[in-house]
Amino acid sequence: MRIAIVSDIHANLAAFESVLAHARSVGYDRMVCLGDVVGYGPDPVECVDLVREHCDWTLLGNHDFAAVYEPTNFNPSAAKAVFWTRAQTIEGEWLRRHIAALQQARDEDRISDTEFLDKKCGAEVEQRERVDFMFRISPRRILLDRYICVHASPSRPVNEYLFPTDVENNTKRLERNFGLLTLPGADGERPVSAIVGHTHCPGFILETPPDPVEVARVEAELAAQTAREQEGGAFRSPLLESAISRIPRNYEFESFVVGRDSWTPNDDEMPAGCRFILNPGSVGQPRDGDPRACYAILEVGENGARDRFTFHRVAYDIARTQSRLRAFAAEGAPLVEWLWERLEKGQ
């Protein structure tokens, strides 16, 4: 089973179309989306429709939430872009433009009255289905095979950022989030890994095993305590696992190096038995310095084989997206220059 994982499309139709074409060329069985289908980009309606068509499910991203409900902690430019996105999607501005174009085509005898009515009714039905879909983007956590999927973080699925720099600057945040990565098992809770979006930075945060010296010290202390309490009883205390779990973990960030076309982490980079929080990168607005669209494919291992993730970067027509943004801005849309300037820089 090969599962294509896309995230943070951000209404960038040119990028999403290129990713879809690339995914078809390498092969996949299912596609899922980690959220932020809309926001920032010029083509929210078209991207929502493609997600509806190609993805088994999509999670609720903070920009999706903002478009349907309200923006939270958005800077003024991003908030204005969200309200414009809402007008195009929920409030039907795209539909009004589409019907006006159909009317012009009819008036110019390029389509008949019957064709006009058929296309108009079809567009109105599509609009109702589109709005219904957007209001149903509610799952904040979904289990994909053995991975917990969220848009942002396990502890705050819509809004919290897990940055690569957290491995050095905010280990408490990582401890809190990794602490939530468990699922019920036959012998109690079992630790699992997660797949997230939101930061637009492809790679994964690896939770490395506790310091073996510290583990040996804890084991020795508990063994001595057990020996004192139970004559001849050198056994693994039920307190040992709990004590070891409280030993601080170390964290590393393994990044999809800028400039590479694809990357499948090897066993040294993603050791067996170590948990991770993986980010497939952003389709529509990369922010790691490489402007190409980014996504990942999960190949689920069979018959005891390990799962494998492969990251891909896909070139797309950035100028096309920039031109669309400029055109809407020229018509009065509240879309600022940095929305198209950042695309060619991957920022």
- Over the stretch 209-228, which tens digit does the pLDDT of each residue have? 776 666 667 667 666 666 66
- Residues 190, 313, single domain; the answer is yes
- For residues 3 and 32, is the Cβ–Cβ distance under 8 A? yes
Give which of 56, 15, 66 is closest to 36, Cα–Cα. Answer: 66
The answer to whether residue 115 is domain-embedded is no
Structure tokens at 333: 């849309």
Q: Do 221 and 79 share a structural domain?
A: no
DSSP H helix total and E strand total for the chain: 12, 13
| Residue 63, in any domain of the structure | yes
Residue 109 maps to a domain: no
Does 219 reside within a domain? yes
Domain assignment present for residue 198? The answer is yes
How many CB atoms sit inside 10 A of residue 235's CB?
11
- Are 331 and 202 in a shared domain? yes
Q: Give domain status of residue 116, yes or no.
A: no
> Is residue 71, in this structure, part of any structural domain at all?
yes
Query: Do 144 and 290 lie in a common domain?
Result: yes
Residue 242 predicted with pLDDT over 80:
no
Q: What angle do CA 82, 43, 318 make, to 5 degrees?
A: 110
CA distances from 251 to 22, 35, 76, 168, 213 (A): 32, 26, 34, 8, 17
Query: Can you tell me the mean pLDDT for 15-43?
Result: 97
Question: Kind and range of the H or E element at 83?
Answer: helix 76-88
CATH of the domain at 171: 3.60.21.10
Residues 216 and 192 in one domain: no
> pLDDT per residue over 256-266, tens digit each?
999 999 999 99
- Rounded Cα distance, 67 and 89, in Å: 8
pLDDT of residue 185: 74
Residues 215 and 67 in one domain: no
Using CA atoms, how far residue 151 sits from 2, 42, 64, 256, in Å, is 20, 22, 11, 19
Same-domain status, 84 and 217: no
Percent of the chain with pLDDT over 90: 73
Residues 238, 339, single domain; the answer is: no
Backbone angles phi, psi at 94, to 5 degrees: -60, -45
End residue of a domain, out of 196, 224, 245: 245
Same domain, 81 and 148: yes
Does residue 77 sit in the same domain as residue 214?
Answer: no
Structural contact between residues 21 and 48, judged by C-beta atoms closer than 8 angstroms: no
Task: Identify whether residues 260 and 149 lie together within a single domain.
Answer: yes
Given this model, what pLDDT does residue 276 score?
Answer: 97
Total domains in the chain come to 2
**Is the pLDDT confidence value at 202 over 60?**
yes
- pLDDT bucket at 97, cuts 50 / 70 / 90: confident
- Whether 74 and 29 share a structural domain: yes
Choose one of 198, 224, 245: the last residue of a domain.
245
Rounded Cα distance between 212 and 250, Å, is 12
Residue 240 φ/ψ, nearest 5 degrees: -65, -50
In a domain? residue 108: no
Check pLDDT > 70 for residue 60: yes
Tell me what the mean pLDDT of segment 231-236 comes to: 51
Task: Give the structural domain span for 317.
Answer: 2-91+137-209+249-344
CB 50 within 8 A of CB 133: no
Cβ atoms of 122 and 128 closer than 8 Å: no
